[in-house]
Each structure stands twice: as structure tokens, then as C-alpha cells.
Amino acid sequence: MSDIFDDNDEITGESGSSNAPEFSVSELSTAVKRMIEGEFGFVRVRAEVGRVSRPRSGHLYFDLKDDKSVINAVSWKGQVARMQVQPEEGMEIIATGRMTTFPGGSRYQIIVDTVEPAGAGALMAMLEKRKKALSAEGLFEQSRKQELPFLPSVIGVVTSPSGAVIRDILHRLRDRFPRHVLIWPVAVQGQNSAAEVARAIEGFNALGHGGDIPRPDLLIVARGGGSVEDLWGFNEEIVVRAAANSHIPLISAVGHETDTTLIDYASDRRAPTPTAAAEMAVPVRRELWVHLQEIKGRVERASTSIIDQRSQRLRDLARALPNPEQVLDGAKQRLDQLDLRLEQAIMRNVESRKAKLTHVSSGLRPANIYNTATFKKEKFESLYQRLGRACHQRLERASARFERLSVGVNALSYQQTLERGYAVVRDDKGALITSSKAKAAIAEIQFADGRVSVANQSKPAVQQEKAKRKKTGKNDAGQGSLF
């Protein structure tokens, strides 16, 4: 650490002072970080994976250890997404990355960019461990397997669109029994292979019945042969779970006959090759037609044989039967006898009812009917007379009451008052004048025996009288005149 301490610096203990420079904690941590990253900027470490932590942030924290030491390792979210092999606890790997320090905890760690198994043995050990874990969950149980449809209408194929696999499958289907094929293109190798295959299986299962894109009746997941590393995407847990949870029957055809991946255990049927998967998917149309013709011939021969046997049996039984005419003779005779008896019974019944009707009609008495009608007529006339008398009496009572009311009205009439010497004074509009202060001129005076008109008067008579008295200055001792 020549950049931190100088060998020529003097250190004195008398006063506690020194010529050595002083560093803050952060400065010292930064210097150590710079030195470690400069010396170990690229490292490859062979180790066993210890504790593995996957927080929600997407980063990956794990330990790299051997029998003596442990180094903390971290892979950021983007690096984890690019890893073809995910580290698991107990797995022996070769990690490639760079050393750095974490000043907040005063420790050093390795930032891992890539992870690869430490040889085929480690990869197979991890594969066996994963197989046991998934088998313990029941994903490989035989009870989960579905029957393949005999003749699917639509077949979904999950594979690479550019490889020879899809051409072999299509060619084989066309030779055996042409069907409608839907291809979901995926990467069958590399870091994105597992995710794309799983999405393809789930996507086919998500298609609805009767939609624009027909839902497959059968799925084929296919890939050509390769090494364990090349086929590793079909060993990933996400692919195995998607195959096990598929509601559409699934055939796995990954690799050659000797290649086995975990999807083969989760699928409903394993095919040794993609071509064999196409042969499992559909029957041979020509063989099926020949088989149907054989069945048709067997049905026709069996039907003919059964008809011949039944005809012979019918003829045998017919010979044992009596002559139909003889069987019906007795029945015909009984029918004639019953018909004759029925006719005689009907005639006797009619005669009996006729005699009874005659007997009953002789007891009827028309006079009684006449007497009843006469009684009803007399009763009606009596009620009619009573109704006439009641109406006449009611009319007389109403007339007498009307006379009494008329007398009372006449007694209260103003005409009676006029006959006692009073008069009614009206103006030119016919309205009554009841006060000496009325402004209207008198136009008419009504007496008991008639009316007198008063014309050409500008003032009422009372006002003229008052004016005359005011002019003469004295009152007349006599009664005076109304005018």
C-alpha cells in the first residue's frame, strides 16, 4: 500500500503526532476498493454454491465456498436474466466476474456475470436433484396423464420455425393424415428458450373454443438432438410445470431416442423423435380407410347372417302355428252372437223407457197449469192497482205541500209591502235607490198597481227638495211632494 503509507514517514510516539497522512474511513474504503478491483477485475472461480437468496428486487445473492473459505457473490437483475444456468444450493459451478468491496459492510464480494456447471457431472447432479424435487410434488404421476385424441382436428407445434424438425413433422402429418397445424415459434436453445417454450404451452391453453384462432386438440413440443447443455432449457422448472399443467394433451419430442429431459416425464406421451411424435398424433388415413372397409364388410356379413338365421327361425315357427282362418272362425261366431244380443237389448230398453214415459205423462194435469197462471194474473192486477193508488196519494201530498210553500213565498214578497203604501225607487239602470245620498238620478218609481217613469231630471228628488228649502230659507209645514 505504497500510495497510502510512505516508508520514509517518521512515526514518533512522544507527542502522538506523525508525518503519515490521515484518511477518513470513506477514503480508506475507497482506496481498498480501487486496489481490489484493479488487481481482480476479471476472475473465474470454481466453487460450490452455498446459501442462495432471491429478493423481490430480482437480484441474486449467494455464497461461493470450498472446504475452507466462503466468498459472498451477487448477480444483478439484468445478469440473472441472461444466465443460462441458475445457481442452486449444493451445485458445483464455475463463476465468472470481478471482485469488489462493499464499503457499507467492510467486506469484499464477487459480482458474477455468468455461471456454468463445473463439468457434466455437476450438471447431471443438479438435474437429478431437480427431478426428485418435482417428482415429490406429483408432477410426474401417471394419474395426471391424459389420453391422446384419436384424430385431432388442430395440432399445435412448439418448436423453432427454421429447423428441420418442423419440416419433418409437417411432412409426416401430410403423408399419414393431413391436419390443421398451428406453429408457435420459440428458441429451442439458449437463455430465452425455457421462458419462450413455457409461454407457448400456456398460450395454446389460453385459446378459447370458437375464437378466431382455433384451439388445438393436441400439442407437440419438439427439438432435434444435442448435448446436455443444448437441451437444458427443457429441464427448467418453468417448462416442466407448464407441461404438467397443460389441459391440452401434450407429446414431448426433444432430442434423439437416447436423450431424456424433464419435460418427457411431465408430458402425457414421450416420442423418441419429432417424426415419431407426428406418427403418434394421427393414424394413417389409408390404413384407417382399409380398416373401416373391413369393419363395414364384417357388419354386412354379420347382418346378412343374422337375417338368414331369423328368417329360418320364423319359417320354423310358422309351421307350428294353426291356420289363421280356423283360429278366427270361433271368434267371428261369438261376435255375431254378441251383436244380435246387443240389438235385442237395445230394443227392449227402448220399449221399457217408452212405457215409463207414457205412464208418467198420464199423471200430468194441464188444469193445474191454467189455475196457476190465473192466480199469478190476479196477483199482478192487485199489485198494479195498489201501485196506482200509492202514486195518486203521493202526488196529492206533494201538491198540498207546494200550496203551503207558495203562500209563504207570497207573504214574504215585496208586492205585499207595496200594497200597504210603499214604493220602490230605481235609477236609469234599474238598480234600487235606497239612500238620499245616492248620486244617480231617479228614473222610475214602482207602486203596487204599476210603475211611473220620471224623465228629464238632473238631480234626485230629495236633492231638489233640499235645494228648494235652502233657497226659500224655510221648511214647509205640510207633507210636501215627493217630486
CATH class for the domain made up of 25-118: mainly beta
pLDDT value, residue 432: 77
pLDDT tens, 288-318? 899 899 999 999 999 999 999 999 999 888 8
Contact criterion met (CB below 8 Å) for 238 and 198: yes
Region 468-482 average pLDDT: 52
State in Å, rounded, how far the first CA of the chain is from the last one.
156
CA 322 remoteness from chain centre: 71
Give the per-residue pLDDT at 242.
Answer: 94
Q: Quick one: pLDDT at residue 438?
A: 74
CA-nearest of 453, 465, 405, 449 to 427 is: 453
Note the pLDDT tens digit of each residue in 230-265: 888 898 999 999 999 999 999 999 988 778 899 999
What is the spatial order of strands in the sheet that 218-223 belongs to?
A: 180-185, 154-159, 218-223, 250-254, 269-270
250: CB partners within 8 A, 6+ apart? 201, 218, 219, 220, 221, 243, 267, 268, 269
Burial code (b: 16+ CB inside 10 Å, e: under 16) for 13-33 equals eeeeeeeeeeeeeeeebeebb
Spatial separation of the C-alpha atoms in residues 366 and 291, rounded to whole Å: 99
Quickly list H helices, 115-236: 120-136, 164-176, 193-206
11 — pLDDT class (breaks 50, 70, 90): very low
For 128-283, CATH gives: 3.40.50.2300
225 — pLDDT class (breaks 50, 70, 90)? confident
Residue 343 pLDDT > 70, yes or no? yes
The cell numbers describing 190, all together, are: 439458449
Q: How many CB atoms within 10 Å of residue 474?
A: 7
Mean pLDDT of 177-195: 90
Indicate the residue type of 320: A
* Average pLDDT of every residue of the chain: 82
Give the cell for residue 219: 400439442
Tell me which H or E stretch contains 60: strand 60-65
Question: Would you kindly state where each structural domain of the chain is located, as residue ranges?
Answer: 25-118, 128-283, 424-472
- For the sheet containing 450-453, what is the strand order? 424-427, 442-447, 450-453
